[in-house]
Chains A and B, each alone.
Chain A
Amino acid sequence: MKPQLFAVPIGLLRVLLALALAFALPLQAAEQPDLAPIRIGLTPVFLDYQATFIIEWRNYLQRRLGQPVTFVQRGSYRAIINLLQNEQLDFAWLCGYPYIQNRKSLRLVAVPLYQEEPFYQSYLIVPNSDKQTQSLADLRWKNFAFSDPDSNSGHLYIQYLLAMQDEKSSSFFGKTFFTWSHRKVIEAVAAGLAQGGAVDGYIWDTLALSHPELTSRTRIVNKSQKFGQPPFVATRATPKQQITTMQQVLLGMAHDKEGERLLGILNLNGFIPGNDHLYDEIETMSRFVEKQNK
């Protein structure tokens, strides 16, 4: 029987083990009373399921910050945003869309450089078997996969495009659903569960390098204009000193060997301080969609 009832996929086991380790180590560090761990929230704006990388990156940050680091991962952007608002996190790597929505309570720490630019695009993808679709308009009545309601590239951008044509996703598409991660949008489209999907272009490009067998089952129909890369943010409550240290560590990653290696895994060139104007486009789109949906 193919569905092996109790056979947990080995990959999943590895992830669980890695997570257990990831959470076990900070406990040891927490025994030092004067050094409370820095809590960093992670979202699927990068390939956050790579457990080995997460451990290595955390070790790197701990070493460079001289302080224990805890990574917090949740199933949706919303959960991380809630934690940030409740000041249960010190930092988070977020999408630009939630950042502009919660700008008052957040501070920009760093912006990643992808292909030497702090920008990325949203890709509209369809299954590779679909040779007809040329634009979003061809996907009317089709099933569509979004990544996260709070994602810019994976949701807002499509909402914006539809709003521009006085459409709403609920009436334009057949069935829509969220996969809660960019990678899973690609999987849903590749499997044919959705006939179209909106995905972070940086993620698609990075997966095309490591998992070409997955991305090759999808076809990019449209690439959006460039948006500011998902920012690394801090809460207003995070001490300034800590923010500065963190910013220095992130910016310095590109300048040491281990940091460079880790950035290589992320398919990034480094981090820059960035500024809020990078997210002006997203803010415009967000306002437009909100207005249109009222």
Chain B
Amino acid sequence: MRRIKNLSLRYKIPLRVIALVIVTAFVLTSTLVYRGVEDLRHNLIDNADKMGRIIANTLVEPILHDDVWRSFEIINTPFLAPDIHATSLDAEYILILNVSNTIYASTQPERFPLLKDPANIDPRYTELLKALPAFQSSRTVVVEPRKSDDLFLLIPIQSEDLRIGTLVMSYPKPPLVARAHGLIRDAVLTTLLVLAVLLPLSVYWGRKMAAPLLKLSTVMSKVAPNLPDSDEITLEESNDEIGQLGNAFKEMLNELKEKEQLQQQVIASDRLAAIGRLAAGIAHEINNPLGGMLNAISTFKRHGVQDTFTLKTMSILERGIIQIKETVAALLVEAKARSRPFDRNDIEDICTLIQADVQAKRINFTLESDIVNAQSLPSTLARQVIINLLLNAIHATQQHGHVSLHIHSDGDNLSIDVCNNGSYIPPEKVAYLFEPFTSLKETGNGLGLWVIYQIVQQLGGLITVQSEEDETRFTVQLPLQENQQS
């Protein structure tokens, strides 16, 4: 049972269709055969009854006149006719019984002599005679004695509604059975013929019905471990349930992908947040002693021993410590600095500031901006973000490349879009792009994007990157801080 349950639809649907076709054919055939055989039997009995009644009516006068010969001639007439239309469904013999149920005449007089009790000749007559209707009844009785190959019709011969004799017609059943067998054989052959046509057709239809399901199943099995690309999924387009299922599956797949992306983003931002906290903590802890050390060196330089070697050493120490401090300061992005709001002057400044680099690389720089009024956003930080992004873009762009800046405000958010057609950021690097000391270029400390990210985070904004072969785009969404001023 389980094996059947586990069978592929590829086989299950055609098998079920086949089973259905066979059952239908079987039921139809048996019904028709049953009807046919019954009709055959009824026809035989009806015809025999009609003929028997004609004979019985003709016999009334000869029997009343006790004319045995005439009675014999009447019942024997059918047997004299040349057997041109021998249908094999013929009476074997006809018998006339008189009122006392002894033989009055028969078409087989040697077997059934006159005046004899038929029950003494053929024991089945005991049963037959019991079935005789009442004297007044004109009903034909059909008797099929048990364990007998014959069928008997008992037809009363009546004069003035009273029985004066009984006509007994004996029909052998084997020809009837042979005909029934013929009928069954024909029906079975026809059914087999029909099945021979229907079965391949049903297999074909069954397979066709199973095909989209199988395809869906194959595609579904690809979901783990990695989500397949929607390009890889080829499902038949249709509006039926399977088509709907396919569409639902595609939607689910897309949603799963989005979820996966989101998860990765969450993981990345969590990691960045953790790194940020760690870096800030370390920076703070390092910053304080560094301040002290620098003070100490300054004091020593002013009041200490003034020999050249010592001064030189102190200068080396001082420069080293300053470098540490700068590095640490870079890690420790402080967004708290208050400044005037960001406006179109800032944008002009930015353009001026990067002009040298743009020209150096002969880059085609385009700017689009709809900023007219001042935006409630600290200009220092916004400038730092935009400049850093633009410098990165210019740096990543080849000679005569293209860099664009697009700044747009919708009242709630300021969106900054920096695009370049420079080198492509591989996907595996995108995940770590905003972590410190991740540099894409040979020079640089890898803190530029880290700083941008920290600033954006602290401003409650969002930064995303999309990198494709011909374009790398950084998009920053910064919420406008309406309440921050108050």
Q: A residues touching B (Cβ–Cβ < 8 Å)? A: 1-5, 7, 9-10, 127, 129, 143, 145, 174-175, 177-180, 184, 188, 191-195
Contacts and interface: CB of A to CB of B under 8 A. Distances in A.
Contact of A192 (B83, B90, B109): B109
19 contacts: A1-B87, A1-B90, A1-B91, A2-B78, A2-B90, A3-B55, A3-B81, A5-B50, A127-B110, A129-B110, A174-B114, A177-B67, A177-B68, A179-B69, A184-B69, A188-B72, A191-B76, A192-B109, A193-B109
B78 A4 contact: yes
Contacts of A1: 44, 47-48, 51, 87, 89-91
Contact of A2 (B54, B86, B114): B86
Residue in B66, B89, B114, B115 whose Cβ sees the most chain A Cβ within 10 Å: B114
Contact of B72 (A9, A180, A193, A195): A193
Interface string B34-47: 00000000001001
B109 A175 contact: no
A2 B81 CA distance: 8
Contact of B77 (A9, A143, A192): A9
A251 B54 CA distance: 49
Residue in B83, B89, B109 whose Cβ sees the most chain A Cβ within 10 Å: B109
Contacts of A179: 69
B79 interface: yes
Contacts of B109: 191-194
Interface in B409-467: none
Question: Lowest 7 A-B CB distances belong to which pairs?
Answer: A3-B78, A2-B90, A192-B110, A177-B68, A193-B109, A192-B109, A179-B69
B272 interface: no
Nearest to B171: A1
B394 interface: no
B113 interface: yes
A191 B91 contact: no
Interface string B343-382: 0000000000000000000000000000000000000000
Given A3-B55, A10-B82, 5 more contacts: A5-B50, A145-B69, A191-B76, A192-B113, A194-B114
B50 A191 contact: no
A193 B51 contact: no
B105 interface: yes
A128 B159 CA distance: 37
Given A1-B51, A1-B90, A143-B113, A193 B69 contact: yes
A3 B79 contact: yes
Contacts of A184: 69, 73
Contacts of B51: 1, 3, 5
B85 interface: yes
Contacts of A188: 69, 72
B66 A4 contact: no
B81 A174 contact: no
B279 to A, nearest CB: 114
B80 A175 contact: no
A121 to B, nearest CB: 23
Given A9-B77, A192-B109, A2 B83 contact: yes
A180 B78 contact: no
Interface string B63-104: 000111100110011111111011101110010000000000
A177 B81 CA distance: 24
Residue in A7, A127, A175, A193 whose Cβ sees the most chain B Cβ within 10 Å: A193
A163 to B, nearest CB: 22
Contacts of A10: 82
Contacts of A129: 110
Contacts of A7: 81
Contacts of B54: 5
Contacts of A174: 114-115
Contacts of B91: 1-3
B105 A193 contact: yes
B66 A177 contact: yes
Nearest to A190: B109
B114 to A, nearest CB: 5
A191 B72 contact: yes
A261 B306 CA distance: 188
Nearest to A191: B109
A195 to B, nearest CB: 8
Contacts of B85: 4
B369 to A, nearest CB: 111
B103 to A, nearest CB: 10
Interface string B107-130: 011100111000000000000000
Contacts of B66: 177
B89 to A, nearest CB: 6
Contact of A143 (B67, B81, B86, B114): B114
Contacts of A180: 69
B110 to A, nearest CB: 4
A276 B292 CA distance: 189
A59 B255 CA distance: 118
Contacts of B50: 5
Residue in A3, A143, A180 whose Cβ sees the most chain B Cβ within 10 Å: A3
Given A3-B77, A5-B54, A188-B72, A175 B114 contact: yes
A193 B94 CA distance: 13
A60 B77 CA distance: 34
A177 B66 CA distance: 8
B482 to A, nearest CB: 111
Contacts of B86: 2
B148 to A, nearest CB: 20
B461 to A, nearest CB: 106
A172 to B, nearest CB: 14
Contacts of A2: 78-79, 81, 83, 86, 90-91
A36 to B, nearest CB: 35
B168 to A, nearest CB: 14
B68 A193 contact: yes
Contacts of B94: 3
B56 to A, nearest CB: 12
A273 B122 CA distance: 57
B413 to A, nearest CB: 103
B81 A175 contact: no
A170 B79 CA distance: 31
Interface string B16-56: 00000000000000000000000000001001101100110
A9 B50 CA distance: 19
A14 to B, nearest CB: 14
Residue in A4, A7, A194 whose Cβ sees the most chain B Cβ within 10 Å: A4
Residue in B48, B55, B72, B87 whose Cβ sees the most chain A Cβ within 10 Å: B72
